[in-house]
Amino acid sequence: MKKLFIVFAMLISYLASAQTQVGRRPFEAEIGVNASYGLNHFDPFTGWYIAARYNYANIPFDLGMEYSNVSFYNKKKDNYYTNENIKVVSNYNFYGIKNFTPFVGMGAGMAWNEFHDEYYNGDSVGRYVKRSLILTPRVGFEVFDHVRFMVEYNLFPTFEGHYKDSHHLEFKLGIAFGGGKKN
């Protein structure tokens, strides 16, 4: 156990020393808003998200965690749906243009989806909570090393029946703190 701790401490100190580029810090946190569009029968709605990422020094990848929350409402069926998810995310950054960094990425994690069906006098008649795997392919860009815009598609591959309607497209706008210069 002691040897494992020493190896782990050496690895962390190596990673910390490798991140000594001027104006760049390895960790960054992000907070933002998302506008979501349910591609089947839910009306567009907004939500929020937070993320923390580790930026690797000599390769154009970042790796992090993200928590997101969004709700949808369907006027025709008088029901609503809430999605909360936590996922591991990674992005490949295309460096080269000053103050502009496009990226592509993927996220995978766990989602909690809450369905409220048929309101009657303000009370929900039916409430269902479903857990699912979530996969999120994404594209986006970062400007001025701190403002990020992304488009991601949330897939729930373990849902069956009408719950497959939960797949949705999200447009995200966030501010990153830390990190610093990417190019």
Instruction: For residue 120, tell me if it sits in a domain.
Output: yes
Mean pLDDT, the chain, whole residue set? 77
Using DSSP, state whether 10 is helix, strand or coil.
helix
User: Residue 49 domain-assigned?
Assistant: yes
* pLDDT recorded at residue 159: 61
Residue 110 maps to a domain: yes
Task: Provide the pLDDT for residue 33.
Answer: 92
Residue 140 located in a structural domain: yes
Place of tokens 């008088």: 78
pLDDT-based confidence at 21, cuts 50/70/90? very low
Could you tell me if residue 5 is inside a domain?
no
Asked whether residue 10 is domain-assigned, the answer is no
Q: Is residue 18 part of a domain?
A: no
* Residue-range definition of the domain harbouring residue 147: 24-180
CB 115 within 8 A of CB 151: no
Residues 6+ apart with CB under 8 A from 113: 81, 82, 83, 84, 129, 130, 131, 132, 156, 159, 163, 166
State how many domains the chain has.
Answer: 1
Quickly state the pLDDT bin for 181 (edges 50, 70, 90): low
User: For the domain that residue 84 is a member of, what is the CATH number?
Assistant: 2.40.160.20
User: Tens digit of pLDDT for each residue in 75-91?
Assistant: 666 667 778 899 999 99
The DSSP code for 59 is S
